[in-house]
Amino acid sequence: MKRAPLPISAFTVTSALGAGQAAHLAALLDGRTGLAPCAFGDVQLQGYVGEVPGVDAVQLPEALARYDCRNNRLAWLALQQDGFADAARAARERWGAARVAVLLGTSTSGILQTELAYRRRDAAGALPADFRYPETHNSSSVAAFVAEALGLSGPAMVVSTACSSSAKVFASAARLIEAGWADAAVVGGVDSLCLTTLYGFNSLELFSPEICRPWDAKRRGLSLGEAGAYALLEREAAAPEAWLLGSGESSDGHHMSSPHPEGAGAVAAMRQALDEAGLAPGQIDYINLHGTATPGNDAAEDRAVREVFGVDTPCSSTKGATGHTLGAAGAVEAALCVIALQQGLMPGGLHLDERDPALQANYLGRNRHAPLHTVLSNSFGFGGSNASLVLGAA
């Protein structure tokens, strides 16, 4: 069923490519990656990660000090870019603090804080007294932190459905506004690097020992990243940056860590997003793929894209630039899609040396410039949790 378009009145993104829209546009235009050989903490792994510079140096305001952890420092750093915090506060003044929701996605949240606290256990095995689980490790802490930082008292929640988390919050916010529970919503995602993520993906044999190569015949897995990205959705806006035209969600539950080989849930999510947007597949100008560079994911997504769109619609993965930012990926890639719409830029996927002949979608290995009116962004998570967003130019 077609839904009314929802204006995106502000957005921002911070990742290994830099802080803010301008840094990301410059990197996309240059075909530059933010990935580098893993040197995170004392991790001993061969592979590449997208670490955001300067996160550890961020100091939270004294009033928010109880939330101090790497994840919330990244959340704070991202809030300060592109005038986003000011835009959110303007929405608060316009609609009232209780009428602006905060809906964020994350995966591991502040688990690094617990990992560090675990190293400081006392002789009896007790965690240190200064460890604050509710405000740091707990997944809900990032929404509480952002709501307090912006002075918002509307509905606040976190979605944690692995890699689809911060795409799903766009759909949740649209429903919340449509139902009359809010007039605006700060949506987005924040996920920071931690030991559990790095060693966990390595144990699943999904962490590539070389830089990730989506759609490449010799792809060996993903490169991990961290990021914070936000968008402000409002019931109405005078000068939107872009439009949320539709969203689609599905849960195929095929396997805990492997995608459905035929992309069944991905197909359902994309078709629902198109239906909500009132668009035919041929009306989508570009697709930002989930494109993790794992053999199974790329093959399943290629099959799903071809089933819905055929082989003509240009598509690419931007994870070769940012790394896979897990719970933040949906919001990061939605932001990159808004930049693409505004600039008429379809970013080429990086590190593609030899295209996999079994993958037949119209994958772009180089930047392409053309006017864009509508784009679709895919985010598919562990456990078969899938989300697709359709975004339109302002």
- 278-315: b (≥16 Cβ within 10 Å) or e: ebebeebbbbbbbbbbbeebbbbbbbbbbbbbeeebbb
DSSP 158-182: EE--GGGHHHHHHHHHHHHHHTTS-
How many whole angstroms separate alpha carbon 46 and alpha carbon 23?
A: 27
Angle between the N-to-C axes of helices 165-178 and 329-343, in degrees from 0 to 180, rounded to the nearest 10: 80
Maximum CA extent, the chain: 64
Two tokens, residue 392: 């339109």
Closest CA to 150 of 201, 105, 83, 197: 83
**Across-strand partners of 224?**
49, 324
DSSP state of 68: -
Residues 6+ apart with CB under 8 A from 126: none
Two tokens, residue 253: 């539950």
Q: How many CA atoms lie within 13 A of 100 on its CB side?
A: 26
Indicate which residues carry an active-site annotation: 163, 290, 324
210: helix, coil or strand? Answer: coil
CB 49 within 8 A of CB 323: yes
Torsion angle of alpha carbons 157, 158, 161, 165, nearest 10°?
A: 100
Angle between the N-to-C axes of helices 111-118 and 195-203, in degrees from 0 to 180, rounded to the nearest 10: 100
Ramachandran assignment for 282, one of left (phi > 0), alpha (psi -120 to 50 degrees), beta (any other)? alpha
Two tokens, residue 306: 């071809």
**Across-strand partners of 243?**
7, 392
CA 227 to chain centre: 8
